[in-house]
Structure 1
Amino acid sequence: MQILDKFKQICAIPHCSFNALKLRDYLVEFAKSCGYSVEIDEFDNIYAFKGKPKICLQSHYDMVCVGDAPDIKLIFDGDILRAKNSSLGADNGIGVAMMMEMMSKFDNLEILFSANEEVGLIGANGFKKEFKSSRLLNLDSEDEDGVFIGCAAGELIRAKISKEMVAIKSNLYELNVSGLPGGHSGIEIIKDIPNSIKIMAEFIAKNGGKIVSFSGGERSNSIPVNAKALMVCDNISYNDDRVSVKYLRNCECEVIKQSQNILDFINSFSQGVRSYDESLGIVRDSINLSIINDSKDSLEIDFFARSMSEDGLERVKFETSNLARLAGFDVSFFERSGAWTPDIGEFANLVLNFMQKYNPNARFQAVHAGLECGVFVAKQRGLQAASIGPNIHSPHSINENLELKSLDKISKVVSDIVAYYQD
């Protein structure tokens, strides 16, 4: 399959979020070699078109780098493609590869490779052009049974507390949590995946410890895999196999005076699903404790809240903010993306018809995550959008894998749709 060859080439080029310029330049040269007019904007989005397009394909070209990534060693295991001890980057590299294949086959097509989606939809939010086409097909979904026509709103909540250090004489321990499964903080939030920061805070609190330092998590849209801390306590009375403990020494150490407030806040915070919509079979509201950063003068905790409605997002923000302020934290908000309300129009129905040609189980769905096409629909009046993609499991983790038979189905659907709009 030529799409897999293109994906292998993408995997060979480092393209972690905020560090994907080599792949950007590669894609620009590829587009030019196919006869496309190409522009790069200030956000590193790659916009290209050829002929008189009636449809635009869109994917993001950055990836979440976990484990050994961006050093990606591909493993073909029957129908499954994964990577050795790293995220695979099929989210959304396989969408990019499908687009490259369509660019080499068709003469009337519009293309957007967007930048830094995984760190707050930065490219999509910054994109200023108006599409020539009135139809946008996003290739960033991960379930072959879905034609996605709606997505969740999301916002980063940052709680910050000023630190005051005080001296205490006690036993000093080094703590580590690592190697947890991790996962996407929207799509996989329903799986109750363990959170390294929550595990660490519980361990310190149950041992009557005080914090010397505490950091953990990888990015706002991932369930934390790793955490590390230094704590002092008289002795270890509570053990958890997920926490490695190293005794350092008995000493007079500087600890965070607000340790109890910090631990109370983290331990009383409810991680995960807040409400569920049985009629749609989808999470309605959720929140993920994503990152804890410990600097010289302050400690910051980032949460990422999601909801299928604007009201639901505001409710989760309100509850979390009040809990944070009760513990003495200041609160601020970043990276808001709006909900994409489902709208079943002519284009959505056409995409579903083509999907059902290869997969009779395909149906309209919404996803508990952000999709860039939702941003574009809000910006450009009259733009019709849908999102599809092959089965990708456990994105944003070292367990990420792609079903190759599913890729074959979806690539045929994309080719049929683009061919339909060539006249």
Structure 2
Amino acid sequence: MSTIIDIFKEITKLQRCSGNHNEFIKYMQDLSKNLGYICLIDSANNILCKKENGKAKIVFQSHYDIVCLNENCIPQIIEDDETLKALNSTLGADNGIGCSYMIALMYQNFDGEFLFTSDEEIGLIGANSLTLSIESKYMLNLDSEEEAEICIGCAGGVDIKALFNDKKIVENRDNLDLYEISIENLAGGHSGVDIDKDIPNAIKLLIKSIKECDGKILDINGGERINSIPANAKAIIASNKEPKKSNENMKIEKINTKSDHFVVYNNKLRDFLYSFENGVREINKEIEVVQSSINLALIKTSIDDISIEFSARAMDNKDLKELKEKTKKELENISCKVETYGKYPAWSVDINSFTNKVLEIYKNYNKNAKLKAIHAGLECAIFKDKFPDLKIASIGPTIKYPHSKNEFVYKKSIENVFEVVKNIANSI
């Protein structure tokens, strides 16, 4: 492989949607054997490549899974002079470019540790379950998404799931009409780094139209991933008023069927979601980052109930706990059964000799390089918790609209950051 982009194209052909491990593991096992590295796999499908008798001082780390908006999608790369993107899907530059940097260093026979973690996009599962031993003193995570920004802190997160089953069969005494309301192909985006960009939430827009025509919910489904801003949603409602569009991408169709009875959900769910404060809750002006946020990510109707899932984030573990408990109580107040999962800690801002060294090196390539914290979950928080003495920094190329079909990465940025990565490697 001659370039980072060549490597990225090669691994993009592999099935790497979250939950799929075999193809990439086989690829890394074969590559390690050919390049003289040992390749260790743990029970969580994490991969660690290193020299058998090496003296590594630095571990490079990336997750190898990607967000797939369609099940088992393999991105078809579209390339122009400046960017790489994919045909009607996520690209997987998050975190495929980071993996490509690591593979490129292995081709250069670098004596380091190379940790490829699994299932980051569905709850940082691989990092949380890591049993492989890290011997290095320094970690360079390659999952950041803005060139010249060196991440030294990130938000913690927790996912909240509510089940609402307050429904009943009602007689259609008011001669209500049935409507199907759908909204498709909104921009979507990452519910952490994009939460302050005023990206419309498909579920919230749907609820707005339902509430404002006093509609009763019979069926509702929306969202793609727990960590994405919903781009699509659909509902069937009963109302005596025709719903109004709340977005130009919305379609409203009257169902020409009269029913004597409906199975409808109690309006208190509709009313709660309508008034729910979605998005940014607080800004941290000191470090110029969102302090706390919550995203209404998924909603799904089953035979028994409606499930609703939220992704909460905060830069401080105390704030995260308070946001979780507040949301949980509000949901319980409308008779939801609530559980939380996928929790990971915040990575408190940490400036040290390693982060300063990374900044010094980066400034040789870009005078605007700076240390920064981000409102997204990075595996760094978990590694810092597992290995308290490990000094960590995170960098990466400029990737726009990750977790959405509009995701793209600048080719020049890929190349720029790899020069920094190589210099950091050699300086350690």
TM-score (norm 1): 0.96
1:141-191 Cα distance to aligned partner (Å, 9 max, x none): 001121111111100011211243314433222221110000000000000
The aligned length equals 421
2:68 is aligned to 65
Distance 2:340 2:74 in 1: 33
Question: 2:111 corresponds to which letter in structure 1?
Answer: N
Structure 2 counterpart SS, 1:336 = strand
Please report how far the alpha carbon of residue 295 of structure 1 lies from its aligned counterpart in structure 2 after TM superposition. Answer: 1.2
User: In the alignment, is residue 189 of structure 1 matched against residue 195 of structure 2?
Assistant: yes
| Counterpart mapping for 1:388-399 below 5 A | 388-399=395-406
**Tell me, what secondary structure is at the counterpart of 1:183?**
coil
Matched to 1:66, the amino acid is L
Report whether the alignment pairs 1:324 with 2:325. no
Distance 2:223 2:110 in 1: 44
Q: Which residue of 1 aligns with 2:103?
A: 100
Aligned partners of 2:200 and 2:263: how far apart in 1? 26
Specify whether residues 14 and 129 from structure 1 end up closer, same or farther in structure 2 by C-alpha distance, changes over 3 A only.
Answer: closer
Contact 2:59/2:114 (<8 A) preserved: yes
Separation of aligned partners in 2, 1:266 and 1:312: 22
- The question of whether the paired residues in 1 share the 8 Å contact of 2:177 and 2:240 is answered with yes
Q: Give, in whole Å, the separation in 1 of the partners of 2:35 and 2:353.
A: 30
Structure 2 residue 313 is matched with structure 1 residue 306: yes
- Give the match's secondary structure for 2:415: helix
Matched, 1:202 2:233: no
Distance 1:2 1:222 in 2: 31
Q: In the alignment, which of 115, 119, 140 is matched to residue 116 of structure 1?
A: 119
1:254 and 1:113, CA in 2 relative to 1: closer, same or farther beyond 3 A? farther
In the TM superposition, residue 23 of structure 1 has moved relative to its aligned partner by: 2.1
Give the conservation status (yes or no) of the 8 Å contact 2:218–2:264: no
Task: Tell me the residue number matched to 1:229.
Answer: 235
Match runs of 1:323-362 below 5 Å: 323-362=330-369
1:397 aligns to what SS in structure 2?
A: coil
CA shift in 2, pair 1:100/1:327, >3 Å:
same
Tell me what 1:81 maps to: 84
Go from structure 1 to structure 2 and tell me whether the alpha carbon gap of 1:346 and 1:260 turns closer, same or farther (over 3 Å shift): same
User: With structure 2 as the length reference, what TM-score do the two structures score?
Assistant: 0.95
Q: Closer, same or farther in 2 for the Cα pair 1:67/1:258, shift >3 Å? A: closer
Contact kept, 8 Å, 1:130 with 1:380, in 2: the verdict is no
Residue number in structure 2 paired with 1:294: 301
Partners of 1:389 and 1:256 lie apart in 2 by 50
2:142 corresponds to 1:136: no
1:414 Cα offset (Å)? 0.8
**Other-structure match for 2:44:** 43
Q: CA deviation at 1:67?
A: 5.9
Q: 2:309, 2:260 → 1: CA distance?
A: 27
Distance 1:253 1:182 in 2: 38
Residue equivalent to 1:409: 416
Question: 1:354 is paired with a residue of what secondary structure?
Answer: helix
Would the aligned equivalents of 2:210 and 2:243 in 1 still touch at CA under 8 Å? Answer: no
Which deviates further from its counterpart, 292-301 or 250-259? Answer: 250-259
Q: Is the 8 A contact 1:116 1:122 kept in 2?
A: yes
Q: Distance in 2 between matches of 1:224 and 1:253?
A: 34
User: What aligned pairs does 1:160-179 form with structure 2 within 5 A after superposition?
Assistant: 160-169=163-172, 170-179=176-185
Matched-pair contact (CA < 8 Å) for 2:166–2:266: no
Alpha-carbon separation, structure 1, partners of 2:110 and 2:357: 21
Residue 18 in structure 1 maps to residue 19 in structure 2: yes
Q: 1:213 to 1:237 in 2, by over 3 A?
A: closer
Contact 1:68 1:85 in 2 (8 A): no
Distance 2:184 2:296 in 1: 16
Note the residue ranges of structure 1 that are not aligned, 5 or more in a row: none
SS in 2 for 1:184: coil
| CA drift at 1:255 | 4.2
Task: Find the aligned partners of 2:170 and 2:411 in 1 and give their Cα distance.
Answer: 58
Verify: 1:30 aligned to 2:31, yes or no: yes
The amino acid across from 1:40 in the alignment is: I
CA distance in 2: counterparts of 1:209 and 1:232, whole angstroms: 5
Native 8 Å contact 2:317 2:346 kept in 1: yes
CA RMSD of aligned residues (A): 1.6
SS at match of 1:156: strand
Q: Residues of 1 paired with 2:310 and 2:9: CA distance?
A: 34
Structure 1 equivalent of residue 267 of structure 2: 260
- 1:210, 1:256 within 8 Å by CA — same for their partners in 2? no
| Partner SS state of residue 223, structure 1 | coil
Secondary structure (helix, strand or coil) at the match of 1:123 reads helix
Please give the alpha-carbon distance, in whole angstroms, between the structure 1 residues aligned to 2:165 and 2:378.
35
